[in-house]
Structure 1
Amino acid sequence: MGHLLFTASSVLAGYWEDALGEARRCERLPVPPRDRDAALWLDLASLGAAQQGADWPNLCRCYRVVALSSAPNDAEGMHWLQLGVSGYAHAYAGADELRQIAASVAAGGTWLGRSLLLQLCQRFGALVPPTERADWRERVSSREAEVIAILKQGRSNKEIARELDIAERTVKAHLTAIFHKFGVEDRFQLLLKLTQSAH
């Protein structure tokens, strides 16, 4: 996957290039259509008024847009997520995290900060039908159904492990199996899919 870097900061561009490897800095927002396999790393602090009013839903259909903020907060993250971005994170996240973000969005996943992710899981989890009435129940084991029931509450892996009295790595194994069964990459996509299957 190619990386396009949109930032007015040469320091930030160099930092991203070091973390991501092969990348190209762009002075202007790219014009769609381009390549859905390309990731557009967007420095929110570098957006002028005209760029903030760009056709972001269309840009997000043409690129895997990762919005990066030097002062991330849940409200801003929610705004960009509603516009269709594939990820929202701190502009100066560690190099390992930036590479994880790149891998996640390349695989079709959504990358969000922990608190925003759990908040969204709780919001969409409330729309998922109760386990005993759910169409998806027959596709998962009893333990996997228990994991989903707690996941719907917007709980972390550690909290799920504590509630079920199992190891956190066991929770991760259950989630991996569940994601595979439903053809999704992360918990947010899973809950969206379970919500859609209710209608």
Structure 2
Amino acid sequence: MSDMVILITASSALADGWADSLQLHDAVRLPDLAALNRSAVPADSLVLLDLADVVASEQDILQACRHCRVLALSSLPQDEEGMHWLQCGAAAYAHAMSTPDLLQQVFDTVKSGGTWVGRSIMQQLCARFGRQQPVADAPDWRARLSEREQHVVAALREGRANKEIARLLDISERTVKAHLTSVFQKFGVEDRLQLLLKLTGR
């Protein structure tokens, strides 16, 4: 993955805040997505994008999300907007003015190849993908998991959070996380969303 980080916002104060929170003082600053798409930036560059300033065609959005790892940051987050950006290929959807600690978590997750969304969107996505039938070669996905891991994945496909899964299976939340970590490793994914996408062949 490229080490280049790009900040796109019309607010210099917001860009400064992101740079200070993440220690990104060498980050490239661009005015908009069109400028990003015209630039010869390395593939998989990390882009922090202020959605308040996005006046772009769907084509520009899709092109940017295909070429770069886009963190779509909204001053007024809404699930519908978040779902749209994720469907376009954004790697994260979060509040533009997140606390430094939260912003660092989002950034690190995306930098390591994961996807970040808020809890309510994650539950919607899990439920949506979980209702779909697994891909044709899916019989062998169960064979790769222990019985308890299968139960955890089944609960995940219902859109349940870790705490709910722990209560449902009468195990600790820590054990749920351990099972999920094992499942992610077996399928070569970074998070629950990527797992569900893989199981549904997306």
State the TM-score, normalizing by the size of structure 1.
Answer: 0.90
Q: Percent identity?
A: 54
| Residue from 3, 6, 17 that aligns with 2:5 | 3
Please list the CA deviations of residues 125-176 of structure 1 after superposition, one character each: whole Å capped at 9, or x if unmatched.
Answer: 11144xxx83211100011001001000000000000101111011001000
Shift of 1:4: 0.7
Shift of 1:54: 5.0
Q: What is the aligned partner in structure 2 of residue 27 from structure 1?
A: 31
Q: Which amino acid aligns with 1:24?
A: V
Q: How does 1:58-137 map to 2 (within 5 A)?
A: 58-129=63-134, 134-137=139-142
Shift of 1:34: 2.2
Once residues 63 and 75 of structure 2 are traced to their aligned partners in structure 1, the CA distance between those partners, rounded to angstroms, is 24
Q: Which amino acid aligns with 1:192?
A: L
Once residues 131 and 152 of structure 2 are traced to their aligned partners in structure 1, the CA distance between those partners, rounded to angstroms, is 15
Give the SS at the match of 2:200.
helix
Q: Which amino acid aligns with 1:40?
A: V
Query: Which ranges of 4 or more aligned residues in structure 1 deviate by more than 4 Å?
Result: none
In the alignment, is the contact (CA less than 8 A) between 1:32 and 1:62 conserved in 2? no
Please list the CA deviations of residues 53-99 of structure 1 after superposition, one character each: whole Å capped at 9, or x if unmatched.
Answer: 55211111111111110110110001111111111100011111111
Q: What is the aligned partner in structure 1 of residue 198 from structure 2?
A: 193
Q: CA RMSD in A?
A: 1.8
Please list the CA deviations of residues 13-65 of structure 1 after superposition, one character each: whole Å capped at 9, or x if unmatched.
Answer: 111001111223222431255212311111011223xx355521111111111
Once residues 33 and 128 of structure 1 are traced to their aligned partners in structure 2, the CA distance between those partners, rounded to angstroms, is 40
State the TM-score, normalizing by the size of structure 2.
Answer: 0.89
Aligned residues: 193
Give the SS at the match of 1:8.
coil
In the alignment, is the contact (CA less than 8 A) between 2:32 and 2:54 conserved in 1? no
Once residues 42 and 106 of structure 2 are traced to their aligned partners in structure 1, the CA distance between those partners, rounded to angstroms, is 18
In the alignment, is the contact (CA less than 8 A) between 1:40 and 1:64 conserved in 2? yes
